[in-house]
Amino acid sequence: DAGVIQSPRHEVTEMGQEVTLRCKPISGHDYLFWYRQTMMRGLELLIYFNNNVPIDDSGMPEDRFSAKMPNASFSTLKIQPSEPRDSAVYFCASSLRQKDYEQYFGPGTRLTVT
């Protein structure tokens, strides 16, 4: 398997623009996670899905953020409108099960909002 795939790897956009980040989890994994990493706050869980259903979105910072998982092989994280404080590295991870299982991380999308 190719591992977790994320696109784009880098995104530079202007404040106010819509940004869409994409993720393809490892085939057969039931759980998908979206994280955000910054120097100040470290790695934060934004939302996770189980079998394509959002389970906990309490980490999503505000209504400007939304995530979908239309099928088992694809998920998106959308920011609309984007703001400079959204600049961070966004990771997608997947896991075969939830408890007591390792998570497999994608390479991340480095987002810069100017």
Residues near another protein (CB under 8 A): 4, 42-43, 45, 48, 55-56, 58, 91, 93, 98-100, 102-108
Using the minimum distance from each CB to another protein, give the nearer residue, 13 or 103. 103
> Closest approach of Cβ 101 to another protein, in Å?
8
Using the minimum distance from each CB to another protein, give the nearer residue, 16 or 91. 91
Using the minimum distance from each CB to another protein, give the nearer residue, 28 or 99. 99
> Closest approach of Cβ 81 to another protein, in Å?
26
> Closest approach of Cβ 16 to another protein, in Å?
27
Dist CA 77 CA 74 (whole Å): 11
Dist CA 16 CA 100 (whole Å): 40
Spatial neighbors of 48 by CB under 8 A, at least 6 apart, are 31, 32, 33, 34, 54, 55, 56
Is residue 84 classed as helix, strand or coil in its secondary structure? helix
Is residue 40 classed as helix, strand or coil in its secondary structure? coil
